[in-house]
Each structure stands twice: as C-alpha cells, then as structure tokens.
Amino acid sequence: MKRIGIMTTGGDCSGLNTVIQRIYRGATLRGWKVIGILDGTDGLCTNPPRTIDFTNDTLPIENARLAGSFLHNGRAGALNFESAAKYGKLEQFNKQLRKSLLELKLDAMILIGGNGSLSLAWRNREIYAGLQLICIPKTIDMDIPLTDRTIGFNTAVQQLTSFCDQLMLTARSHHRWFITQAMGRDCGQLALHAGIAVGATAILIPEIKFSVDSLIKHVRNAPTDYGIIMVSEGISLRGHSGKPADMISRKLTAAGIVNRTAFPEHTQRVGDTTAADRILATRMADCALHAIENNETYVMTAVNNCECKTISLADFFAAGSVTDDPNIPDLQTSDAYVSPDDPLLDIATDMGIYIGESK
C-alpha cells in the first residue's frame, strides 16, 4: 500500500480543497493511504511534523467547494524558506525537511503550490530524494510557465468581475469612474481577464507600457461618463510611489475626472470554487495520481490545448523568465507573463478598451 502525502504552500486560493478531496478519493480507490501535511513546509519543519490522516469525514465532499486550504498554507512567524534564509538557518531548515519526510515514510508527495513553491521544490529537489514528487499548479496570478490554466484563477476572475459589477452600478449613479486595483503581482492576467469580462474602459497591466495622457484622453472620449479602470498591482508610474490605483486616481483627479479607488484585496482569493476550477482541480488530481502509478517524479501537472498531462519540473523552470528571489539568497523563480501575442490584447483594443501604447 502506497503512502501519499499532500501539502498546500504559498498563497491560498479557491480550488485547493477540491483538489485535496479529489486526490483523497482517487487514492483510496487505489487502496493507498493519504496523509495531509499541515501548514506546508512549516508543518514539515516541526518535530514531529504536523500531519493528519484522511478519512471520508476529514474533508466532506460538500465542503470541497470552499475557498482556502483545509491543510493551511503556513503560519506567521514560522520557520520557512524565507525566514530560514533571513536568519542564516537555511541548511538547518532543509535538513529538518528531509528528516521529516524520512520519518513519514512516504512513497510520494503531492505539492500544490504557485510558481515560487514549484521553483523552490525544483531548486531544492534533493529534499525529496527517494520519493515521487508530483506538483499541481495553483495561483490566482496565472504566472506559471507551460500550463494554460492554474487552479484558482477562474474563481478569482469571477470574484473580481462580480466586485466590479457592483461598482459599475454606483459609478453610473454618480457619473464617476472607479479605479480598481487587481492582484497578480508582476503578471497582468487577472486584471486583463476580469477587465474584459466587466467591460472596463481601460486595463493597465505591467507587461504593457501606457501613457497617462493617452489614458486621460481615452476616458474623456469614452461613450459614458462612468465605468471601471482596471489597474494591476504590478504597474509602475515613473516619479510616483504608493498603490498603483492611488497613483492613477491622483492623475485623473488633477485632470478634472471624478473618480474613486476600490481595492477588492483578498476577496479575489476567496469565494465558492467555480465549476471550471472544480473540473480543473479534478483533472489535475487524476493526472497526479496516474503519475504516481507510472512512477514519475519531479513533474508538474499542466493543461495545454485542452489536454491534461505531466511535464518535468526542469522544463517548467527553464521555460519561464527566471528572476532572483528578493528574499532567499541564491534562489531563482520561474515566472510567466502576459504575452505580447495574447489574443485578449487585440480583443480589448477591438472593444475600445485602452490597453496601453503597444496596441
């Protein structure tokens, strides 16, 4: 009987509980035992490691739709890769992770994480030597190379769209513009998708240069005197500091355009998991279990051209834009961004949305 470990790491999102429950269901049908790691690598770093044995009542199927992670993603103040590097305890931390995994006697570990967690797993792969490591990509940012979709992204787009739908009503009542700041770090996918969904007048993302003067002209010439200006949190404005939405708001106010800022913040990370994300979570859980059956290791599940299959972590890491991690010395992260050839950019332009100066 195989012993399978599951852990969720990095930022949370909707869909984590769905993939956890589906992994448990598929594993038990195969006669395997499933062990949940609480608090991700934080939980592995304690002695003994914090774990939970799964049963049918551990995570009921009706709760699998809920946001967040039943297993948790980490605790403030805990020793993790970042804090270990900060206090010069990275070698000690890695040794404890390795020791905990040996104590648990796992045959395979399924790690559900974002691009940072997956990059860490690949760059520190010796920690997982002797067991199969299968990664499942989840993030609301959709910044993971070599997969068309990540768990949690669809629900985040829906959450942000619903937030803006309500803003649009008060915007119309007061002839006012709302500058809405989306999450996404340095990737503009969330802002781009939600902006198109809500019918934004302008969408500003980190990947596309924009002109404040062109934005102001576009807003003044818009067919309405109200609407949404979607701003990704990763944009910058030369000579200005602060939150991007506030910077844009000040520019519009100076131009005589009535506006307010709106920050949906962590509401983008929550909400009942959409059907699309539940299906994606189920497909990736099934793919991960087949990978274990096929004795694969150091792989990631991915969906491309509607097909779900595994790719090597080496290919994942090499395919993205590799940057130095600002908090962990000698660590690099592989990132994906909105491509200049993304058809949504042309669609946005065709729909009269100001997307920046390159289109």
- Going by C-beta distance under 8 Å and a sequence separation of 6 or more, which residues neighbour residue 221? none
Catalytic residue among 12, 39, 141, 143: 141
Reply yes or no on whether 141 is catalytic. Answer: yes
| Residue 187 near residue 142 (C-beta atoms within 8 A) | yes
Radius of gyration of the chain from its Cα atoms, rounded to whole angstroms: 22
For residue 65, give Cα distances in angstroms to 56, 270, 275: 16, 11, 9
Positive or negative: CA dihedral 272, 138, 341, 311: negative
Alpha-carbon 166 to chain mean position? 24
- C-alpha closest to that of 284 among 268, 299, 269: 299
CA angle 150, 289, 44 (to 5 degrees): 75
Strands 108-113, 202-204: parallel, antiparallel or unpaired by DSSP?
Answer: unpaired
As annotated, the active-site residues are 141
